Copies of this chain bind each other. A is one copy, B any other.
């Protein structure tokens, strides 16, 4: 699964720590998601999308390998 968290953060000019605080998780959680270390819950994805004023599908997308 791909994500554009880093780009969205850059657009809004907020840090991992600030995003974490806004959505109510730890900074390491945001960092781990951003670098593809793990997949967030849909609830967290919805909150992140809300904070960025966009949609889950704008931020997260399936990779080809996700279907194997």
Contact = CB atoms under 8 A, between A and B. Distances in A.
- For the complex, would chain A's binding face be called helix, strand, loop or mixed by DSSP majority? helix
A20 interface: no
Max count, chain B CB within 10 A of own CB: residue among A45, A50, A62: A45
Contacts of A43: 1, 39, 62, 66
A33 to B, nearest CB: 9
B55 A1 contact: no
A34 to B, nearest CB: 13
13 contacts: A24-B67, A40-B41, A40-B42, A41-B42, A42-B42, A42-B60, A45-B45, A45-B56, A46-B60, A49-B57, A56-B56, A56-B57, A57-B57
